[in-house]
Structure 1
Amino acid sequence: MRLTANEYCNYFKISKEVLNSKIKANKLDYIIEDDQIYILVTKNFLDEKNDNNYEKEKVVLKQINQIIRPKTTVATVLALYQKENNFLKSKVAQLEAKIDKLIDDKEQMLRAERDKIEQIYSLKDAQLKNILELVERKMTLEREQTTIHEIESFNHQDETKSSLNLKTVELKEYLKSLNLKSFQKKIIKKRFLNAYNNDIRVIHKDGKLYLDFSKYDYSDLLAY
């Protein structure tokens, strides 16, 4: 039986360099045909090689099995179960720690939200209190102004009534006797100038306007 160089190398698991060295050393029988080298082997040689390889493989497999699959005993099984149990306990403890941390974080978040809401409501209460105080202050000022205006109106009516006891008085002098502002005096004077040609109550004499309280009521013209 003959084998090519590649077949021989593959079958016997050697490299081409080793094969060439054996051929040069005349350790193998070979022939050359058409520039191709063929190594001559016998069937017995192949069988022997196969038997040797088979025995070697059996020994190696036995050793591997002894390493990989040691003898299983009750103690070994218990040790494995104990190891697995310890591992599971460790995992459970880790999960419980994570759950406790999540609960604590949630409680802290809820407390922070509660404090924030209370702070907002407290701020709103303070703002509402300030607004109510401002409204109350404004109402008080308005009441005071209304009272002052009523007092001034009452005083003005008293002054008008007292002036009714007079006979004829010049408008300018009469306005001076009143506690009026400049623009108020101008408004009243303009009102009299617009009315004196059509209103018999307004007396014009020597370029001046006079009022006769003994005859007429000037409250409408003197209003301000």
Structure 2
Amino acid sequence: MQITIDEYANRFKMSKEMIRAKLRAGRLPHTVVDGTTYISVEAAASAAPAAAAPQRTTAGAVIMMYQKENAELKRKIGELEAKIDRLIGDKEQMLREERDRIEGIYVSRDEQLKSFLELVNAKLVQEGFKLAAQSSAPDTVDTPSYADHTAEPPAPLPEQIELFSYLEAKHFSSSEKKTVRKRFAKAYGNDVRVIQQNGEFILDFSKYDYSDLLAR
């Protein structure tokens, strides 16, 4: 029985290129009639056992191909793991630098706050010494008395003073105190004049004017 190359390829599940290669090598008996090649099926079937050996070679080649692909995959996995390790290391370094930067900011602010508190304390001590000196100084000069004078003029307030102490010294009423404190609380964080220390607002008359916030 003789069949064409197409029929042979469909029947034995082979590619046409492989069939033509076998025809050129003389491994398949065939005849050519009017330009059409016909393959003898009986002769090809009898020659089939001899063709079993190349299949083992093909299986070995497939195994080698898979081994090569596995080696390539392992290499790529190793590169990816190394890249991930580098990324993790870079991220950890960034986090450490950010932590150091934030700690530096807090240290700087602590130093500024410490300097400010030392300045306030020095001012208070200085004012205390002044008041003590004034109270202990002897009265050597007679001051004129007036009929409408009923009390001594109040002592000058320090340049830096707590808001509560200022309001008390200026005899603000309870409602006026609440109004003023609300103004300071609203301005806190937006107005550089409004400073808070230990939960209490601090007035610094040596630097700022608070007439708008202290209006009755």
TM-score between the two structures when normalised by the length of structure 1: 0.47
Structure with larger Rg: 1
Q: Give the structure with the higher percent helix.
A: 1
Question: Normalising by the residue count of structure 2, what TM-score does the alignment of the two structures yield?
Answer: 0.48
